[in-house]
Amino acid sequence: MKYNSTTDKGIVVSASQAIAQGISNDGGLFVPMEIPQYALSEIEALTKLDYRGRAKKILADYLDDFTSDEIAECVDKAYTKEKFGGDNPAPIAYEKFGDIDMNILELWHGPTSAFKDMALQILPHLLTKSLKKTTDKEAVILVATSGDTGKAALEGFRDVDGTKIMVFYPVDGVSPMQKRQMTTQEGSNVAVCAIKGNFDDAQTGVKRIFTDAQLVKTLSDNGYLFSSANSINWGRLLPQIVYYFSAYCDMVNDGRITLGDKINVAVPTGNFGNILACYYAFRMGLPVNKFICASNSNNVLTDFITTGTYDKNRSFYATISPSMDILVSSNLERFLYHMTDKNDAQVKEWMTALKTEGVYTVDDATKAKIKEIFVGGYCSEEKTREIIGTFFNDYGYLCDTHTAVAVSVYKDYVEKTGDRTPTIVDSTASPYKFSKSVLEAVAQGEELPRDEFEMVELLSAKTNTAVPAPLAALRSKQTRFDTVRAKEEMADFVLSTLGVQ
Ligand SMILES: *Cc1c(COP(=O)(O)O)cnc(C)c1O
C-alpha cells in the first residue's frame, strides 16, 4: 500500500514515510493509493472481535510496511483499560431526545477527555516506529491547536523517546480548562506557546514552518526532523476509521441494527478529520447512508456543502464549542481528491485559490457528488445551550457543547427529512472540559461560581455525574508554560526551545 500527495500523484511514499513526514514536500496531504475493500462477511468477522482486535485488522490493511507484531504493540499500548476507563474505548450510549433515537458514540473516555485521544494515544507509537524505518533523526512534533489536540498530543508524546513536542494555541481561543491542561503539562520533551492570533493563524504558522526550506535544513543539520501530529497526518486519520467500524459492530451485537443495514452519522466538525475518517470507512464498505456535517456559527462547511463554494473570507466567531472554530478545514483537501477521482491538478488549483484569494468553487459534477451523501447544517450559540439544557433536564443525558451542535443539526435533519435511518451521533468531549458553558445551559439563570474548579464540582453535584479523574487532578498542578508570542515569532520559539541558531 503506497500513498500519494493530494496535489501531485507523482509523489509516491510508503505508509511509514507518510506518517513520519506528516505532510508531503509539495504541501499536499498523503492519501492511500487504494482503499481496502471489506465485504459484509469481513465486517461480520469484526463483530466477533473487541476494539483492539478490530483496530489491528484495519491498521494492518493500511500499514503494510509494519509487521503484525509492530501493529499489535502500537494498538495494545494505546487502547488500555487504564487509559480509557474500560474495555471498550468508544462505547455507545443509546439515548432519546424526545422521539428521536440518539446513538451517542462517546469518544472522550481517554486521558484528556476529548476524542483526540482516540488517535493521539496511538500516533506516537506509529510515528516512532515509522521514524525508525525511515530516518536516524529525532522528530520535532509541531502542533497547532484550537484546544483539544494540543493537550491530547502532549499527553500522547510526553517522554516518548526520540521525540520533542511543541504546541501552539490561540491565546484567547481555548477554554480555561483546556488552557490549564496545556500550561501544566508534565514531561521532559514538551513545550507550549500561546499565540496572539486565532487558530487559523497558529495552523498557518505551523504549515509555514514545515515548508520553510531554510528552517528545515537548519534543523536537519542539527539532527532534527519536523513532523506533525495535526489531523493532516495520516497516522491521525487512520485510527479514527476504526471507531466507525467498531460502533457499527457494537450496534449489530446490541441488536440495534442487522448486519448490512445502513446507518447515518452526525459529526461535530472542525478540521474535517473525524467525518473524513467515516468517509474512508464508507469507501471500505461500511454501509453509510448520509454524512451529517455539523458546524457551529463558523459555518463555512455548511455553506460549502450547500453551494459548492468554499469561502473563508468571513467573520470568525469565538464560540462555546471552540474546537470547531475553524475557517480552513484542512482535511477537506483529501475529500476533494477522492470526490474528483484523484484529480491532483484540480485539487492543487482549488487549494492555491484558497491560499491566494480565500475562496474556490467546485464544478457542478463534484458538487452533485458531494450532495448525494453529505448534508451540512449548523447550530447557533443560543441553540447549543438550549439543546444541552433540554437533553439533560428533560431526557437525562449530559453532553458537552460540541456534541450538542451535532445533536441539534441531526434533530433538524430528522425533522426536515423524516429520515429515520439509525444514526450514530459523535460525542467528542466530556462536558467537564467545558463546564462553564454546560453549567450555564443546565442551570439557566442561577448564580454560578467564577472559579473553574468550583464550576466543575457544582456541575457534578447538579447532574450527579462523575468528574473525569485527570481533569479533577489539574486543580493542584503547577503552571509550567506561560509564554505568549506574536504569530510571526513561532519559528523563533521553535529554534530557541531546541537551542538551535
Ligand atoms: C477536534 C474536535 C472537533 C472537530 O473534529 P475534526 O476532526 O477537526 O473535524 C470536534 N469536537 C471536539 C471536542 C474536538 O476536540
Question: Is residue 130 situated within a structural domain?
Answer: no
Which amino acid residue places its CA nearest to atom 8 of ligand 1? 271
| Percent with pLDDT over 70 in the chain | 100
Question: Is residue 3 situated within a structural domain?
Answer: no
Predicted confidence (pLDDT) at residue 173 exceeds the cutoff of 90: no
Going from the Cα of 10 to the center of ligand 1, the distance in angstroms, rounded, reads 31
Residue 252 domain boundaries? 94-108+240-433
Backbone angles phi, psi at 171, to 5 degrees: -60, -35
Contact 209, 490 (CB under 8 A): yes
Question: Is residue 188 situated within a structural domain?
Answer: no
Which amino acid residue places its CA nearest to atom 1 of ligand 1? 323
Can you read off the three cell numbers belonging to residue 63? 500499514
CB atoms within 10 A of CB 491: 16
Give the pLDDT confidence of 203-213 residue by residue, as tens digits.
899 989 988 99
pTM for the model stands at 0.93
Q: What single-letter amino acid sits at 491?
A: A
Question: Is residue 288 situated within a structural domain?
Answer: yes
The tally of CA atoms less than 13 A away on the side-chain side of residue 256 is 21
pLDDT (0 to 100) of residue 5: 98
Q: Residue 152 and residue 418: Cα distance in Å, rounded?
A: 38
Question: Is residue 277 situated within a structural domain?
Answer: yes
Going from the Cα of 146 to the center of ligand 1, the distance in angstroms, rounded, reads 9
CB atoms within 10 A of CB 466: 10
Q: How many domains does the chain have?
A: 1
Contact 329, 272 (CB under 8 A): yes
Which residues form ligand 1's pocket by a CB distance below 6 Å? 114-116, 148, 231, 268-274, 323-324, 402, 428-429
Which amino acid residue places its CA nearest to atom 2 of ligand 1? 323
Going from the Cα of 414 to the center of ligand 1, the distance in angstroms, rounded, reads 23
Going from the Cα of 275 to the center of ligand 1, the distance in angstroms, rounded, reads 9
Q: Residue 129 and residue 434: Cα distance in Å, rounded?
A: 35
> What atom of ligand 1 comes closest to residue 272's alpha carbon?
9
> What atom of ligand 1 comes closest to residue 147's alpha carbon?
15
Average model confidence (pLDDT) for the chain?
Answer: 95
> What atom of ligand 1 comes closest to residue 152's alpha carbon?
15
Q: Residue 337 and residue 335: Cα distance in Å, rounded?
A: 5
CATH classification of the domain holding 377 = 3.40.50.1100
Best mutation site among 425, 428, 432, 437 for ligand 1, i.e. most ligand atoms within 8 A of its Cβ? Answer: 428
Report DSSP letters for 327-372, one per residue: SS-TTHHHHHHHHTTS-HHHHHHHHHHHHHTSEEE--HHHHHHHHH
Going from the Cα of 385 to the center of ligand 1, the distance in angstroms, rounded, reads 18
Best mutation site among 155, 236, 271, 276 for ligand 1, i.e. most ligand atoms within 8 A of its Cβ? Answer: 271
Best mutation site among 326, 402, 407, 432 for ligand 1, i.e. most ligand atoms within 8 A of its Cβ? Answer: 402
User: Dmax of the chain from CA atoms?
Assistant: 62
Q: Which residue from 429, 465, 321 is spatially nearest to 379, judged by alpha carbons?
A: 321
pLDDT confidence tier of residue 25, bands split at 50, 70 and 90: confident
Helix ranges (DSSP H) in 104-233: 116-120, 123-134, 148-157, 176-183, 199-210, 213-221
Q: Which residue from 316, 315, 280, 264 is spatially nearest to 426, judged by alpha carbons?
A: 264
Predicted confidence (pLDDT) at residue 231 exceeds the cutoff of 80: no
Name the DSSP letter for residue 432: G
Q: Between the CA of residue 449 and those of 439, 440, 457, what are the distances in Å?
A: 10, 11, 10
Question: Is residue 148 situated within a structural domain?
Answer: no
Best mutation site among 155, 274, 407 for ligand 1, i.e. most ligand atoms within 8 A of its Cβ? Answer: 274
- Parallel, antiparallel, or unpaired: how do β-strands 2-5 and 8-14 relate? antiparallel
Going from the Cα of 133 to the center of ligand 1, the distance in angstroms, rounded, reads 30
pLDDT confidence tier of residue 232, bands split at 50, 70 and 90: confident
Question: Is residue 152 situated within a structural domain?
Answer: no
Question: Is residue 67 situated within a structural domain?
Answer: no
Can you read off the three cell numbers belonging to residue 46? 469484526
CB atoms within 10 A of CB 357: 11
pLDDT (0 to 100) of residue 339: 97
Q: Among 86-90, 161-165, 279-283, 366-370, where is mean pLDDT lowest?
A: 161-165
